[in-house]
Chains A and B, each alone.
Chain A
Amino acid sequence: MNKSDFLVELEDILQREDSCNESDNLNDYEEWDSLSKMSIMAYYDKSFGVKLSLNDLKTVTTVSDLIKLAGNKIQ
């Protein structure tokens, strides 16, 4: 998946009215709550076969960090 497609997916997963950018700090999003984190875990598992833990997500600050957690699955 390319990054711009992922950013659109992310907007949908987080159910945001605004678009997402790589440099955004996730902690600035009011949508970045525990349900959104669970949703990201489900999405990574389903789409990339990548199993994340809540601890992995605690280490994430920016959207770009989140992309890195997908290994090379998001280019």
Chain B
Amino acid sequence: MIEFKKEQVFIVTGASSGIGEAVAILLNELGATVIAIARNENRLNKMKSKCKNPENMHIEIKDLTENINELPNYIKSLKEKYGKFSGMAYCAGVACIYPIRMVDMNILANIFNVNYYAPIMMIKGILDKRNRLSAEEGGGSIVCISSIDAKLSSKGQSIYAGSKAALSASVKSISKEVASSGFRLNCVLPSIIETPMSLSPESPITENINPEEYPIGWGKPQDVANMIIYLLSDKAKFISGQNYIIDTGGVL
């Protein structure tokens, strides 16, 4: 059984929807204090209303792409408010289908801002020794959501796939920098999961899917959340710098 203490403070980004929402609710249910970050206040409040321990669920409205260079200071301000961090689940992200002929710097920036630059600067903030628990205090764990597209992607996904592959590669390197100080970092790489991102009617992602590749059906946000929670917990103390595909075997 995985348990957390309320003194263990975790940031969950993307907590207003889909996978991030599932992670925030489960982490809170298992006892941790959760700082839930997203832009949409209504949806964050809705998420909070589903929580088992609302007193340990704190909502922070933030556009993570607004001033990316300042994100480490943002983490510092959160630490001053809530205490030192035990880790983070970075679940914010945007998807796009842009064939190469449609790509320009605006699109590249939009995608990389949320999917790559912001998580890197958030990680930088958390890994500042002044903002996190030391090894003696229990250390901690960071999990970022990458995507199956980092390994194998279809047409129109080059920029999304690139942002996720970049994140996976950087997280692996950072994990080595901090291994000896009690912090672990990993990525999970889900294939198709039923969330607003993949279910929206205009999503070409889902229209291109071959049902035969999904013998057990599509994943649910909880399926990814379970893996993330495990990696955040001490049960995964021997696991760092890894990229875990979450899939039923159809894709890779």
Looking at the assembled complex, report how far the CB atom of A43 sits from the nearest CB atom of chain B, in whole angstroms.
Answer: 6
| A70 CB-CB contact with B under 8 Å | no
State which of B106, B156, B201 has its C-beta within 8 Å of the C-beta of A38: B156
Choose the segment among B94-102, B134-142, B221-229, B233-241 that binds chain A (4+ C-beta atoms closer than 8 Å): B94-102
Q: How far is the CA of A13 from the CA of B104 in the complex (A)?
A: 13
The proximity string for B residues 188-223 relative to A, scoring 1 for CB distances below 8 Å and 0 otherwise, is: 000000000000111110010000000000000000
State which of A39, A53, A54, A55 has its C-beta within 8 Å of the C-beta of B99: A39
Q: Please indicate the chain B residues that have their CB under 8 angstroms from the CB of A55 in the complex.
A: 207
Scoring A13, A34, A52, A55 by chain B CB atoms within 10 A of each residue's CB, the highest score goes to A34
User: Is there an interface contact between A39 and B102, defined as CB atoms closer than 8 Å?
Assistant: yes
Determine the interface band of chain A, counting residues with CB < 8 A from chain B.
Answer: 10 to 19
User: Is there an interface contact between B99 and A52, defined as CB atoms closer than 8 Å?
Assistant: no
State which of B99, B107, B201, B202 has its C-beta within 8 Å of the C-beta of A35: B99
Looking at the assembled complex, report how far the CB atom of A29 sits from the nearest CB atom of chain B, in whole angstroms.
Answer: 15
Asked if A53 meets B97 with Cβ closer than 8 Å, knowing A13-B102, A34-B155, A42-B102, the reply is no
Q: Please indicate the chain A residues that have their CB under 8 angstroms from the CB of B98 in the complex.
A: 38, 42
Tell me the residues in window 97-147 of chain B with beta carbons closer than 8 Å to chain A beta carbons: 97-99, 101-102, 106-107
Q: Please indicate the chain B residues that have their CB under 8 angstroms from the CB of A52 in the complex.
A: 202
User: Is there an interface contact between A42 and B99, defined as CB atoms closer than 8 Å?
Assistant: yes
Q: Please indicate the chain A residues that have their CB under 8 angstroms from the CB of B201 in the complex.
A: 51, 53
Q: Please indicate the chain A residues that have their CB under 8 angstroms from the CB of B155 in the complex.
A: 34-35, 38
State which of A13, A35, A51, A53 has its C-beta within 8 Å of the C-beta of B156: A35
User: Is there an interface contact between A51 and B102, defined as CB atoms closer than 8 Å?
Assistant: no
Q: Please indicate the chain B residues that have their CB under 8 angstroms from the CB of A34 in the complex.
A: 155
| A41 CB-CB contact with B under 8 Å | yes
Looking at the assembled complex, report how far the CB atom of B198 sits from the nearest CB atom of chain A, in whole angstroms.
Answer: 13
Nearest-neighbor residue (CB-CB) of A40 within chain B: B102
The proximity string for A residues 1-29 relative to B, scoring 1 for CB distances below 8 Å and 0 otherwise, is: 00000000000010100000000000000
User: Is there an interface contact between A39 and B204, defined as CB atoms closer than 8 Å?
Assistant: no
Asked if A41 meets B204 with Cβ closer than 8 Å, knowing A34-B155, A35-B155, A35-B156, the reply is yes
8 additional A-B pairs beyond A41-B202, A42-B99, beta carbons within 8 Å, are: A13-B102, A34-B155, A35-B155, A39-B102, A42-B102, A46-B106, A53-B201, A54-B207
* B-binding residues in A (CB < 8 A): 13, 15, 34-35, 38-39, 41-43, 46, 51-55
Q: Which 6 A/B pairs are nearest by Cβ-Cβ distance?
A: A51-B202, A42-B102, A38-B156, A54-B207, A53-B202, A35-B99
